[in-house]
Amino acid sequence: MNSSVRRDSVLRYSPGVRTNHWLVAITFVLAALSGLSLFHPALFWLSNLFGGGPWTRILHPFIGLFMVLVFLGLAATVWDDNLLRPADWQWLRQWRDVVSNREDRLPEVGRYNAGQKLLFFVLVLCLIGLLLTGLAMWRAYFTLPVDLVRVASVLHAICALVLICSILVHIYAGFWVKGSVHAMLHGTVTPGWAWKHHRAWFRQITHDANPRTRSD
């Protein structure tokens, strides 16, 4: 029998995924704070957290590169589970039920719901955008035509804005759906949590845990 499903807890995130997630999270916070300090004068004081303006300028691109690198690992692990399926569009159409905690009216959700999947692909796009435009702006190592750097600078800011807003939503959603932060910290959820929020996934793993069971 699969040890990931017990009567009192269900394994949702393996130690590897948890480590990877928090590496992305920590580097995101550092990249966002250093980036914001260079974006708006009202936030320039944040550069003090990194040892001053020049150190912020030096560190920000490396932090960003590291974030992309660790995100690649996470994305490869969760990619398949985040592919959008027909039922996801129905879930999205019922977004009012989602935000009103009327989960019983929604289609059964697999390992990730449509909101999580959308967030995932927004993150993928933003990070690709930030990586490419960030390289173009990295004057210590690259010198590109100024017109290109100007476009890159605007796109870098837009991607960062979308990313930061998305992560704010992500952080709130983790707090909103009680048990999610516990899952990402300790790895497990209660069977009830899996039943309520990700029933199709719950059925799947309980079925996998008991392969002799017929699925009828």
Partner 1 sequence: MQSDIIRRSATTTPSPEVRGAYTGTVAKLIDTTKCIGCKACQVACMEWNDLRDDVGTNFGSYQNPADLSDRSWTLMRFTEYENPKGDLEWLIRKDGCMHCADPGCLKACPSPGAIVQYANGIVDFQEENCIGCGYCVTGCPFNIPRISKRDHKAYKCTLCSDRVAVGLEPACIKACPTGALVFGTKEEMKEHAAERIEDLKSRGFDQAGLYDPPGVGGTHVMYVLHHADQPALYAGLAPDPRISPLVRLWKGTAKPLSLALMGLTALAGFFHLVRVGRNEVDESDEAAARASLDASRKPEIRP
Torsion of CA 142, 146, 149, 155, to 10 degrees: -170
Assess whether 186 carries a catalytic annotation. Answer: no
- Three state DSSP letters for 63-79: HHHHHHHHHHHHHHHHC
Closer residue to partner 1, CB minimum distance, 76 or 171 = 171
Binding flag, residue 116, partner 1 (CB under 8 A): no
Q: Which of 21, 60, 170, 198 is an active site residue?
A: 170
Using CB under 8 A, pick the residue from 11, 59, 72, 149 that binds partner 1: 149
Quick one: 23 or 173, whose CB is closer to partner 1? 173
Residue type, 150: R
> Which tokens sit at 83?
């592919």
| Backbone phi and psi for residue 126, each to the nearest 5 degrees, phi listed first | -60, -40
Q: CA–CA separation, 23 vs 113, rounded Å?
A: 23
Residue 194 touching partner 1 (CB under 8 A): yes
- 14-22, 110-118, 127-135, 184-192 -> range binding partner 1 (CB under 8 A): 184-192
**Which tokens is 112 given?**
């990730």
Instruction: Output the six-digit token pair for 148.
Output: 């290109």
Quick one: which of 177, 184, 200, 204 contacts partner 1 (CB under 8 A)? 177
Q: Site mask, partner 1, residues 122-141, x = CB under 8 A? A: ---------------x-xx-
75-104 positions binding partner 1, by CB under 8 A:
99-101, 103
Is 51 among the residues that bind partner 1 (CB under 8 A)? Answer: no
Report phi then psi at 56, rounded to 5. Answer: -60, -45
